[in-house]
Structure 1
């Protein structure tokens, strides 16, 4: 019986694999094109068109061009400070909030949760001007804190963590309280050790979101020395406004490396967070 079921699944698996293969190729082609243009010696003068996967004159000229004045290195440092700060602030607030909404008992819990989740439906563009005025009044304009502090409220992260804690049996909380632990002690001693996988997922999402952010940094930062990697990438142009294709693609290639590295280091924890969805029965 099992052999018959296995044989029936073979065509289905082939179709699924073929679809995923096509999607994977479609997603990776733009990155290949980016690398080809970055390695093309005269891409700044004459971008390759039509696009080919063959580098006519391979050279690291475009990479040397963006690295020669140290601007990219400084942008890397700035983006790391902002991304790491955002991750730390986000993890602290989201884990505590998700635990409170999952295991806590207080009046208005569901209403507050709905209000927080409702912020996910408000476009950033509608909040942009009030946020700018608020941080300007606080004296945080042109400051990294203005890019880090908004990570305190994260509706999606709170919902993700709440659902994760919902899968952990309530008996653990009751047992810890019997042993004399208050809610904070229960969180840090009992529940926090379970959050390795979900925390890794949050780190990837928040780091990627912070690292790739462009609009808000462009609005709140005015000092060129504080520009982030996306701001640095967007700054490449001739005096007449035409785009330096080779240098832009080289900067973009170097700009995505940290995100890829973070994901490769933490992907196994993300898989674990998916596998633990059956913890509570």
Structure 2
């Protein structure tokens, strides 16, 4: 009975995996095919890869490398800042006692329950008033604090024994030292998880950079990919080639942090 259930569940997982992977495989094969092969009616399910010209010409279609570098800079910067601020605030909420702490933490959690679209208009007006349009400050500063990240670190740091921190204070360690030398090293699984999620969210963000940045030299790759959509047609081969390249940083980030991410998930499941 258990063996049959295992086979059934594995079959379901295989089917769901194929549903997820097939569109990606189709896009990857299409990136090596001419546009005529991609849009051909009555052809095979997967286009026949026959050329690498889409990859060779991607820089000629638009300033791909500049936008790629812009996106990488914004994604890495916001991810690093959010990890640090989330860990710091999570440490405060988990290990410090002060009046109104639970109310303030509830306010932080409430920011996770608001649809992101609701805040677009007030945030846009603030950026206009500050004169930050067409600048990276408009992309970085509104993202320096994450309610989701604070919640993750607060839960993780709460598991650190208070006796360990008290022992460090008895030995003369300051809170600054405790945070950087004890809390952060013990939060590597949480750091890895948040790094994967936040980098992905920053890398694929489209609407906010589209509203904030008008200068093509400062524009991000997620917005730049729409340049393949012309008035009378779309260069699907070039679009798929650029998109295939654009997912490389996300894959690299996951490869770097996957061991810690899986370890964090496993430890949470055991608890």
5+ long unaligned stretches in structure 2: none
Q: CA 1:28 to 1:51, structure 2 compared with 1: closer, same or farther past 3 Å?
A: farther
Write out aligned runs for 1:28-177 (5 A): 28-43=21-36, 47-49=39-41, 52-56=44-48, 58-68=50-60, 71-177=63-169
Post-superposition offset of 1:178: 2.0
Distance 1:95 1:26 in 2: 37
Distance 2:214 2:141 in 1: 18
Deviations 1:200-232 (A, max 9, x none): 111111111101000000000010111111111
Post-superposition offset of 1:88: 1.5
* Conserved 8 A contact 2:93-2:105: yes
Post-superposition offset of 1:50: 5.7
* Conserved 8 A contact 1:47-1:246: no
Runs of 4+ aligned structure 1 residues displaced above 4 Å come to none
Write out aligned runs for 1:228-247 (5 A): 228-240=220-232, 242-247=233-238
Deviations 1:21-52 (A, max 9, x none): 11111110110111122121234x86144674
Distance 2:210 2:147 in 1: 24
Distance 1:129 1:50 in 2: 46
* Conserved 8 A contact 2:91-2:153: yes
Write out aligned runs for 1:215-230 (5 A): 215-230=207-222
- TM superposition score normalised by structure 1: 0.89
5+ long unaligned stretches in structure 1: 1-7
Post-superposition offset of 1:146: 1.2
Deviations 1:88-108 (A, max 9, x none): 210111000111111111111
Post-superposition offset of 1:131: 0.9
- TM superposition score normalised by structure 2: 0.92
Paired residues in the alignment total: 271
Distance 1:38 1:243 in 2: 13
Distance 1:104 1:26 in 2: 47
Residue 189 (structure 2) aligned to one of 179, 183, 197: 197
Distance 1:126 1:215 in 2: 13
Aligned to 1:266: 257
Post-superposition offset of 1:137: 2.0
Distance 1:176 1:262 in 2: 33
Aligned to 1:18: 11
Q: CA 1:19 to 1:114, structure 2 compared with 1: closer, same or farther past 3 Å?
A: same
Aligned to 2:244: 253
Q: CA 1:69 to 1:119, structure 2 compared with 1: closer, same or farther past 3 Å?
A: same
